[in-house]
Each structure stands twice: as structure tokens, then as C-alpha cells.
Homo-oligomer: A and B are copies of this chain.
């Protein structure tokens, strides 16, 4: 376990309530039952499943977890947990970005991202979803502006907000090339198992791939 890691990731990964955990615990335990062997390339979690070597993409997995939490909150018309910034963050955007984001302040508010158009090209962020509390906010806003410009945003459009949630999930997720402790890996797999769709990140990339034991035995010519 790296000494330099803050405890934030563990906190984030174990944010789900004990109740929602309990409810799903018996449905699927594919990953939670796997034995973690270790981390590869500081990017992939290697585990021993029932009859396969499993490789989990830590970023894609965490993205899926974060996405389902944000989506669940939106479905319940609940603002996801958010956090007031001690010092509101002020930044300027370009002309096109300003045009998009200035229309989005209400919608972003419902996602826990409280942003105000200060006038001109200047915006002030006052609260952010807890999930991304430790991340830089401006790169996320720029990506949202770009995506919505391409998508054709109009206020209250559900599909547009879903895109925003995906971007938030991506920005909240642990990165590739980040060392994780055994406990962090365990927490990640437990929570991925509890997702509706644990197999894909919200962009449709796989969260894990498997190398069946039989295939491995064939690779080694142990069986034909």
C-alpha cells in the first residue's frame, strides 16, 4: 500500500449505505468472491475467480460504480451528496463554452454542481458533488461544455443530463496508473458486484475480462 495515498478513495468506495449493500449481496458475488492476487501495471486488478483468471480495469470499474450512484440519485430526483467549497472557484471560459454552460446552471445544480454565471465569461463554482470533491473542476466543466455543444443541449433534456453524469463519473473515478491497496481493490470489486451492470463502464468499455482456466491450460498445452 502506497504511503502517499489519502484515505479519500476508500471513503468514496464505501459510500453506499449498508442497506442497499445488504439487499444485493446475495444476488451476484462473481467479483466479491474472487480472490485478489494483486495489481498489474497500477491499472488492472488481477484476481482468481472460480475457474478463470480475471483482470479488472480499475478506472472503468470505478466509473461504473460512480455512474450508477449518480444515475440512481437523479432517478429519485435527489441531488447527489454535494459539498460546499470553502473558497468558491472562479474561472473564465471561452465564448462557445460560456454560451452552453450559462444555460446549464439549473441542470448542473440538480446534479450537485452549483455553478453561477458571474457575468462575461466568468463562472463561480460553489458546490460540487462529493464524488468529485477532490478533483479539479474546470477540466470537467470544459468537457461538459464540449460534449453538450456537440450533443445539442437544451435545458432539462434527460439524455443530455445523462451525458453529464457519465462525464462526472469519469472525472470522479480512480485513474489508471494509480497504486491501490488490497483493501481498496477489495472495496472496488465488492461495489462493482453490486452494480446493475457490472460488466461495462458507462461508455460501454468492459470493466473486466477473463482468461478461463481451460484456455490457460491449452496455452500451456496441459490439455489439448
> B-contacting residues of A (Cβ < 8 Å)?
37-41, 44, 46, 48, 53, 55, 57, 60, 176, 204-206, 209, 211, 213, 216, 219-222
B205 contacts A209, CB within 8 Å?
Answer: no
Q: Which of B38, B41, B204 contacts A38 (CB 8 A)?
A: B38
B37 contacts A48, CB within 8 Å?
Answer: no
* Identity of the chain B residue whose Cβ is nearest the Cβ of A39 in the assembled complex: B37
Q: How far is the CA of A38 from the CA of B222 in the complex (A)?
A: 21
Q: Which of B37, B46, B60, B220 contacts A206 (CB 8 A)?
A: B220
Interface of A, secondary structure class, is strand
* Identity of the chain B residue whose Cβ is nearest the Cβ of A204 in the assembled complex: B221
Q: How far is the CA of A206 from the CA of B216 in the complex (A)?
A: 11
> Nearest-CB distance from A159 to chain B (Å)?
22
Q: How far is the CA of A71 from the CA of B48 in the complex (A)?
A: 36
> Nearest-CB distance from A43 to chain B (Å)?
9
B55 contacts A46, CB within 8 Å?
Answer: no
Q: How far is the CA of A37 from the CA of B39 in the complex (A)?
A: 7
Q: How far is the CA of A38 from the CA of B40 in the complex (A)?
A: 10
* Identity of the chain B residue whose Cβ is nearest the Cβ of A56 in the assembled complex: B220
Residues of B within 8 A of A206 (CB): 219-221
